[in-house]
Chain A
Amino acid sequence: GDSVTQMEGPVTLSEEAFLTINCTYTATGYPSLFWYVQYPGEGLQLLLKATKADDKGSNKGFEATYRKETTSFHLEKGSVQVSDSAVYFCALWASYDKVIFGPGTSLSVIP
């Protein structure tokens, strides 16, 4: 079945450091891919998305490129801030019936 794997956390970075969170997926067909973010005490919210191969999603300085050949959708940010501390979930939508989430990666950014 469809599944999402992402790097284990927690990840701790200093402010202004470069961030990469790896995500790979298994799916039949051509899924849409997402990154969601969950700030402490809140629900998940969409960070960025890509709907077809080679698409790049971007938002708030975060980027991810849909790589069909490597079935990956890695999240990157050039310079993280303390306010980026949150849990990040990679997800896929292979049908209209459900969105499958990865286990989440906790990020802590220290000043």
Chain B
Amino acid sequence: DAGVTQSPTHLIKTRGQQVTLRCSPKSGHDTVSWYQQALGQGPQFIFQYYEEEERQRGNFPDRFSGHQFPNYSSELNVNALLLGDSALYLCASSLPGQGGGYTFGSGTRLTVV
């Protein structure tokens, strides 16, 4: 039973470029959440997708957008990259309505130069 799969594992982009990160949830999970973890910090909630819609959003600018597909996989898009967007981006999947039961992916390490 596959857990959460994220791709790519590492990525280097230039300031001003756009990036797309991908996440496949754990089998049976239909809710996907994205988190940004800057070096030395705890993860910060970006947004959550359920039924192909953004259900909740954290305090991130509109440059951060996402999408969920009918197979529950999800993408995180970041436009006009800034140096400060360099971070580990984590995806977690879950079933809706639970207080927990989250499964995390290994993350995508994004470096903006």
| B is a partner of A | no
| Interface residue ranges, B against A (CB under 8 Å) | none
